Structure 1
Amino acid sequence: MCGHVTVHALSPDEARAQVGALSAVLIDCVEGGASVSFMAPLTQERADAFWQGVAESVAAGERILLVARDESDGSVVGTVQVVLRQPENQPHRADISKMLVHRRARRKGVGAALMRAAEDAARRAGKSVLVLDTVTGGDAERLYDRLGWMRVGVIPNYALWPQGGLCDTTVYHKQLPGA
C-alpha cells in the first residue's frame, strides 16, 4: 500500500544506486501492459541497462531524473524524466519522458506529483515549452488533460503494445509561465 510520497531529483550517484529500484518500476509497468518503449517480457538486464544509460545522461547534464518515494517504506513507486538536451534551435524546450508509476501506487496522486515536480524542474532549468507523448485513451492521457496540458493530436499506429499489436499515441505540449 502506498502512503504519502515525496518527489525529488536524483544526483548521478543516486541514479546509479537506484537502478534496481527504477528497473522494478519499469518492469512492473511493462508487465501491466504499458507501451513505454519496451516489449514483454522485459528482463532485469535490459531494464538495468536502460537505467544505467539514464544515469549517465543525468551525469552529463542532459536530463533530470525524478523519483517518487513511498514515505511509509522508502520504496521507489514512480519516476519521470525531463530531457534537457535539445537541438540548438530549441534551447527553451524539454521533453517529458518515461512517466512511470508502479501499479500498487496508481490512483493515489503519484503521477500528478511527479508531473508537477517535472514542470517545476524544467522551469528552474530555464525551459518554457514542454512536450510529451502517451498512449491514446490511457490513464496518463486523462492525467495530462487534468494538469492543463494541451493536446496536439493523435498519431495512429505509432508504437506497439508490450505484448504486440499497434497502438496510437497522443502528443501534448505545455507552455510554462515564468520560465
Structure 2
Amino acid sequence: MKLLNPRGFGLASATVAVGLGLVIAGCANTVDGTPTVNQAEATSYKAEAATSSSAAAASKAAAAQAKAITDNCDPFRSTTGTAVDRYNDFVDAHDGQAADQADRRDGAANALDDAAHTVETRVNASGSDLPADLAQKFTDYIAAARGLAAEVRKMGNNSSVGPLNDASHKVNDALNAVRNACPTR
C-alpha cells in the first residue's frame, strides 16, 4: 500500500485553507448606508412609461377612428345611390302617370328603407370609434330616408306632392351633409 505524500497533502491543505480564508474575508465586508431610490431617475422612467402608454393608446384610437370613418364613408355613395335612383324613377312615373307607378313607388320606398337600414347597421357596428359629429350626420340621413320612404308610400295619382317634396329636401340635405363631412378619396 502506498502512503500519502506528506508534501502533497500539506500543499493541498494549505491551498484549501487560503481559498477558504479569502472567501470568508471577502464576505465579511459590509457596505454602510441605507439603500434608496434615485428619485430623479425613477420619476423620469415613470414619465417615459406613461408617455409611451399614452401614445400607444392614442395611436390605437386613431386607427380605430380611421377604420370607422372608412367603413361608413366609402360605401355611403353606392348604398344611397341606389335609393336615389329608385326614388327618381318613381317621381318620373308619378309625374308621367305611368302604369307601373305603384310598382316604382314600392321599389323606391323599399330602396330608401334598405339604404337607411344599411347605413344604420354600419354606424352601429362602428360604435364610439365613429366621431360623434359624423355619426349624427349619418343618423340624420337615416331618419330623413325613412321619412321619405313613408311619404312615398302615401303617394297616389291625386296625392299632394308638398309633403313628398319636403321629405325629399331633407334627404338631399342629409346626403350632402354626410358627403361633405366624409373625406374625399
Bigger-Rg structure (1/2):
2
Return the structure number with greater helix share: 2
The structure whose RCO (Cα within 8 Å, separation 6+) is larger is 1
Q: TM-score, normalised by structure 2?
A: 0.22
